[in-house]
Chains A and B, each alone.
Chain A
């Protein structure tokens, strides 16, 4: 029986997971990667790790940060506690290879935006090392969230993310080669594939750092020829334009509307919903998107102090953990 869940990773993935888990009746300890830069929060998370019945991780900006998080938390979990890893940047098998108890690692695949009322399907891929017991527990947990669990082969990105991120990458290549504006690209895909949203808007919602992380993971796994991330995506992430809020990185970032007279010229005579000319002036006055550079690789050695700290805590018995409200997840830095 899973009563207490530790969820760690990045928005908007963890917010949705936490809300779903809370609704299913679990007690949720939620940690966003932004908060884990403070040492005391990491200590807190480690304490929570010793008490939880399940650890859910969704950190996909790079394999290095995922490694850091999983390795550190897993070392503090009780022995039979399953680890659920959102396999976007690395396969469940690879994640398991970082763990002391690889048999408890189960991969899953969930992509934002998640409809909390109807969370839909979740991909399910136990690591090669996983045992039946962990898989059964993990499956039960996902089913309790209200998700339909679909078994897929284990690989970075699993199935849906692999297709979606390849489509997003292609859209960024097309944008980079200045063949069309971001709005036109999104519209072309929405109309031709009946996609629920355009690939660039989707990328903004997921976060461009995650998009880059996943494509790098795909390129590592399948070879660089097909999944090589578009140069523009790398530049955007380096510039700290990470999206997350729809419109921040691609659709409304001023450079695309102001510095491409080629599009403005070609579209000046277009009317109706495709008119770029009316969209351009607004974007000039937009507030700059929130800046956050790619997280630096965090050395595993950093965990040393916390690992011993955790042992200390477990000896003393459970300390009262700080419970984070899923609804207050954004801007919770101040609360801590």
Chain B
């Protein structure tokens, strides 16, 4: 399948790597030429790394590398069978990208938007003339190895589009879950309870984060709530919790935790910043 990916940031880059490894021709585009170049190098390095780790055979990685190319303009990406928009999570940016793609692409071309908290229905309705070909996707980090992906169905989407996307995701070893276009979609709405309750206990000051994680490990959860927050990033998760809280008209059980907010304000963003609920040396 011919695939275009808009936005060569963390998500777009990782997705491109997974897609080429699954044998799809990928056209990568970013508004910033330097980012695009870095992404290309990082993908090549990522593929090399996966060969060194023994997960991928050498000739497969070499083939995959040939499948990746970059596009000079956004419009050049419209030629593909499926375009996935991985631009930054801002409503104006997403609307702009989708609007331009909608103008340039054939009405049969499928458009998917990677979203964290924004509503794909709202983006599609505002930016495109053919919202029935638009679909929301929500990937979970690390995209290279996490099989979970939410397929967010917008009201007008056609079943063929869904089938097509499910095929593609199957091929990339992803497990697609159909989620409604609601605040928190499905996964964030469900898993919020796990981390929110743990954070409430931390707010109460009865237990330390490590002790609570350890207790949840003994119950069979390999990743404790605070380890999970550190892995996903405290800023991202706080954003998701705020969106859920606001989207549900301030339902008390979604109220973000005080400790969580304080950590983000203090710049402790989790594993990526070296400091979250735990400290990371590397």
Contacting chain A: which of B102-110, B197-205, B234-242?
Answer: B197-205
Residue of chain B at shortest CB distance from A269: B159
For B212, B215, B228, the residue with the greatest tally of chain A CB atoms inside 10 Å of its CB is B215
* A184-B186, A225-B252, A269-B163 given; A191·B191 CB < 8 A: no
A193 to B178, CA, bound (A): 17
- Chain B residue nearest to A179 in the complex (CB): B180
Are the CB atoms of B215 and A171 closer together than 8 Å? no
- Among A170, A192, A194, the residue within 8 A (CB) of B222 is A194
A152 touches B207 (CB 8 A): yes
Contact code string B200-220 (vs A, CB < 8 Å = 1, else 0): 110000110000101110111
Contact B191 A160 (CB under 8 A): no
Pick the contact of A180 from B180, B198, B218 — CB < 8 Å? B180
Question: What CA separation (Å) do A164 and B200 show in the bound complex?
Answer: 14
User: Which secondary structure dominates where chain A touches chain B?
Assistant: helix
CA distance A164 to B201 in the complex (A): 13
For residue A234, CB closer than 8 A to chain B, the reply is no
A189 lies within 8 A of B191 (CB)? yes
Provide the bound-state CA to CA distance between A165 and B196, in Å. Answer: 12
Neighbouring B residues of A160 by C-beta, 8 Å: 215-216, 218-219
Total A-B contacts with CB atoms under 8 angstroms apart: 119
The answer, among B166, B177, B189, B253, for a CB contact under 8 Å with A226, is: B253
Decide if A187 touches B177 in the complex (CB within 8 Å): yes
Min CB–CB distance B50 → chain A (angstroms): 22
List A290-314 residues whose CB lies under 8 Å from chain B.
none
Report the minimal beta-carbon distance from A96 to chain B, rounded to whole angstroms.
Answer: 19
Q: Map CB proximity to A onto B154-176 as digits: 1 under 8 Å, 0 otherwise.
A: 00000100110010001000010
Contacting residues, chain A, for B74 (C-beta < 8 A): none
A266 to B163, CA, bound (A): 12
A116 at the B interface (CB under 8 A): no
> Within the assembled complex, what's the spacing in Å between the Cα atoms of A121 and B252?
32
- Contact: B253 with A179, CB < 8 Å? no
**Shortest Cβ distance from residue A215 to the other chain B in the assembled complex, whole angstroms:** 12
Of chain B, the residue at the smallest CB distance from A225 is B252
Q: How far is the CB of A210 from chain B (nearest CB, A)?
A: 16
* Docked-complex contact B177 and A274, CB < 8 angstroms: yes
B215 and A184 form a contact (CB under 8 A): no
Residue A321 interfacial (CB < 8 Å): no
Cβ contact within 8 Å between B186 and A180 = yes
Given contacts A179-B186, A226-B200, contact A159 B191 (CB under 8 A): no
With contact pairs A179-B180, A269-B163, A274-B177 given, residues A167 and B194 touching in the complex (Cβ less than 8 Å):
yes
25 A–B contact pairs at CB < 8 A? A121-B218, A123-B215, A150-B214, A150-B215, A153-B206, A160-B215, A163-B212, A163-B225, A166-B196, A170-B190, A170-B253, A174-B186, A179-B182, A184-B177, A184-B178, A188-B177, A191-B147, A192-B140, A192-B190, A193-B228, A194-B223, A226-B200, A266-B153, A270-B166, A270-B178
Binding site for B on A (CB under 8 A): 111, 120-121, 123, 148, 150, 152-153, 155, 159-160, 162-164, 166-167, 169-171, 174, 179-180, 184-185, 187-189, 191-197, 199, 225-226, 266-267, 269-272, 274
